[in-house]
Amino acid sequence: MKVLLVGDDYIGSDLLLDGFAPWRGYGCELVTYDWLQGSMERLQYLNRRLEEEGPEAVPPPADIFPLIADADVLIMQFLPLGRRLIDAGRKLKAVGSLRAGYENVAADYLTEKGIMFFNNPGRNADAVSDYAVGMLLAEARNIARSHMALKQGEWRRDFINLPYSPDLPGRTVGIIGFGRIGQLVARKLSGFEVRLLAYDPYAGPEAAAALNVTLTDLDTLLKESDFVTIHARLTEENEHMLGARELALMKPTAILVNTARSGLVDEDALYQALRDRKIGGAALDVFDREPPGKDYPLVTLDNCTITTHMAGTTRDALAKAPHRLARELAKLFRGEEPRPWVNRGRVPFRAFSTGHLAF
């Protein structure tokens, strides 16, 4: 069985090969390829296009077509996997993505072709949840602004939020999206003795109760929270879930943290709310345009902490992702269904056997 491992500037084929090395014991031939753009900035630009325009927006590299022609399994991350490349994989039975999101994959076409598709949710959940807590503290306590002032030779002690810069004990934190990342944020914030609310129409009460979190509706969460942190997936249904109406529900001292996707928030409405001091502040790792540039409206504000879309980027997250996916998909060799099966129920289950695919 031939397994094609496609790395990129973010997770290279060396890490992929390390993670999937145990598959050689199942009789697999591991073939590597790197879709390299030369810089993380270029890769982020292309990934942004794929997220906004879909998998056909960026053409796949020409030299990958001969490699995929006889591949049984494709493992990749940011590679644009559109219809033409899928058609070239005449023997493909399964595709695995190293990430949770799959905007760069023609997932419906994989289903149409009867190809099992698996993703890798939670691969950087610890990294993102750590970062969200850090961003919350940075904005509340002016850490980044004080750092920048000192770098510029200024001993700054006067900040917009100084009259209401809070201690965390007794404050309310609202978590939008209570999946793996949201739950980790709740667990990590519990030591700060905060009250925790969560909004997620798909969350079960058991997980919330185990973490001493109260599930509530979005409006109540926004009205009662001193901090709101977003950890939902972006879909057509929840795009701009926080617009002018929702931001107007927040306390004038409240801080909004977004380490998820910029499309979950109406940026124009957020800019106006921050500019007019309708909310206390924001901490953002994602933007509608990346890189935003120094004149980008949100970048110009003094009550907005900003970073370069790096919440999920740690060495541990990068190294662990291939191992995590390889372990999960190895269930196919035991005739078991991997948990993150995107098109479950729409394509037939096909177990793997050592040395060949079993049907």
What are the catalytic residues? 261, 290, 309
DSSP letter for 6, please.
E
175 vs 177: CA distance, rounded Å: 6
Amino acid identity of 353? Answer: S
Structure tokens at 338: 């991997």
Name the nearest CA neighbour of 343 among 142, 26, 110.
110
Q: How far is CA 225 from CA 112, 265, 282, in A?
A: 44, 17, 13
Residues 6+ apart with CB under 8 A from 202: none
Radius of gyration, CA atoms only, the chain: 22
Name the nearest CA neighbour of 230 among 192, 262, 188, 193.
262
Torsion, Cα 299 305 307 312, to 10 degrees, reads: -140
How many beta carbons lie within 10 A of that of residue 56, not counting itself? 15
Helix (H) or strand (E) holding 196: strand 195-199
Q: Residue written as tokens 């890189």?
A: 291
Cα 60 to its chain centre, rounded Å, is 23
Helix (H) or strand (E) holding 75: strand 73-76
Q: How far apart are the first and last CA of the chain?
A: 14
